[in-house]
A and B are shown apart, each in its own frame.
Chain A
Amino acid sequence: EAQVTQNPRYLITVTGKKLTVTCSQNMNHEYMSWYRQDPGLGLRQIYYSMNVEVTDKGDVPEGYKVSRKEKRNFPLILESPSPNQTSLYFCASAGGVAGVNTDTQYFGPGTRLTVL
């Protein structure tokens, strides 16, 4: 089944404790992205990657890191989490073949992060 998976689905942590949220897709997509969703603000893009070893900032990159060492994986790293990073996080992927397929983003199920 074609899908984007994220782990963990739920995470409660404390300020300053480094964490990684994993994202994996099995559709051979070139593009991957991370978003955070907060009430009233909608989805905001954190980072995106257009291919292996190619990443770029979205609108809210501060406090986050990403890496794209393999095509299928795009982990989100919070080196020193703070309470304002409490949010619902979504990973998404798209593309692989130029044309229509590059436009549709497939989203993972989300990771609800609470930083105390």
Chain B
Amino acid sequence: SQKIEQNSEALNIQEGKTATLTCNYTNYSPAYLQWYRQDPGRGPVFLLLIRENEKEKRKERLKVTFDTTLKQSLFHITASQPADSATYLCARRKTGGFKTIFGAGTRLFVKA
């Protein structure tokens, strides 16, 4: 079956450091991967999308990479702040469809 795997362990980092979250996929080649942020009790909020023909995408302090050889996407938050503390979800959709698979998410804690 097609799966998205994210590190289930929470990530604890110090303010100002770079947080790196991992998303691995198996048994398929997604057209693109998306990253969302989710705060407790709220709906996910879209952050970034990276397509299979893109190596890297940036948005302010966020950077996403896509390695189709390793079947992996990395999500980086540079100069992290306590306000970045949240759960980050990785998701994939196939081109032309709306069937979506999400990873279970990685909880990030940024300590001041």
B99-A42 in contact (CB<8A):
no
Q: List 26 A-B contacts (CB under 8 A).
A: A33-B100, A35-B102, A40-B8, A40-B104, A41-B104, A42-B102, A42-B105, A43-B44, A43-B102, A45-B99, A45-B100, A48-B99, A50-B97, A50-B98, A58-B99, A59-B101, A90-B44, A92-B43, A103-B49, A103-B93, A104-B34, A105-B34, A105-B44, A108-B43, A110-B42, A110-B43
B101-A104 in contact (CB<8A):
no
- Residues on A with beta carbons closer than 8 Å to the beta carbon of B105: 42
- Residues on B with beta carbons closer than 8 Å to the beta carbon of A31: 98
- Residues on A with beta carbons closer than 8 Å to the beta carbon of B103: 42
Q: Which residues of B contact A (CB under 8 A)?
A: 8, 32, 34, 36, 41-46, 49, 89, 91, 93, 97-105
> Binding site of A, secondary structure by majority: helix, strand, loop or mixed?
strand
- Residues on A with beta carbons closer than 8 Å to the beta carbon of B43: 4, 90, 92, 107-110
Q: Which residues of A contact B (CB under 8 A)?
A: 4, 31, 33, 35, 40-45, 48-50, 56, 58-59, 90, 92, 94, 100, 103-110
Across the interface, A106 reaches (CB within 8 A) one of B46, B99, B104, namely B46
